[in-house]
Amino acid sequence: MQASIGRLVPVILRHLDAYAEVVSEDAREATAFVARRLVLLLIAGACAFVALLMLCAWLVILAWDTPWRAWTAAGLVLLFGGVAAVLAWPALRGHAGRDALFFHRIRSELSRDRELIARAFNGDGKGRNGIESHVE
């Protein structure tokens, strides 16, 4: 029994090392995803701020004599407000599969390992996909 456990220790350590590598890849992808969303939200916030400034300028211009200044300021408000809405929409809308967004590789590896362990303890030689594999 001790000899079989001694042979399993290096295999388990290599397996844990592989898990660490998969987790680090998933973490890099998650970091890049969050960074992209954060940049879009920051740009959207800046555009919303400019739209607010333009709205204030538009209110001031309305008091002036010519109507063209007011239409120009209103067009700029709509432009910056539209840019802010377009940039913020993808980052703020809800996703149904949000829990499957991060660490998908490690989840699939864990499910395959659980299946292998269950088959090893049950003595069943076939997995869900019908392919035979032997666990030693």
Structural domain boundaries in the chain: 17-92, 104-136
Residue-level length of the chain: 136
pLDDT value at 37 more than 90: yes
pLDDT value at 40 more than 80: yes
CB 77 within 8 A of CB 58: yes
**What global pTM score does this model have?**
0.46
| pLDDT for position 124 | 59
Does 63 or 74 have the greater pLDDT score? Answer: 74
| pLDDT for position 129 | 53
Span 31-58, mean pLDDT?
Answer: 89
Helices then strands, each counted (H, E), the chain: 3, 0
Q: Name the 3-class secondary structure at 84.
A: helix
Span 23-39, mean pLDDT?
Answer: 89
Integer Cα distance of 27 and 47 in angstroms: 30
Span 35-48, mean pLDDT?
Answer: 93
CB 57 within 8 A of CB 73: yes
| pLDDT for position 136 | 47
Span 10-34, mean pLDDT?
Answer: 85
Q: Is 84 exposed, middle or buried (0-12, 13-18, 19+ CB in 10 A)?
A: buried
- Tens of pLDDT, residues 75-101: 778 888 899 999 888 878 866 555 556
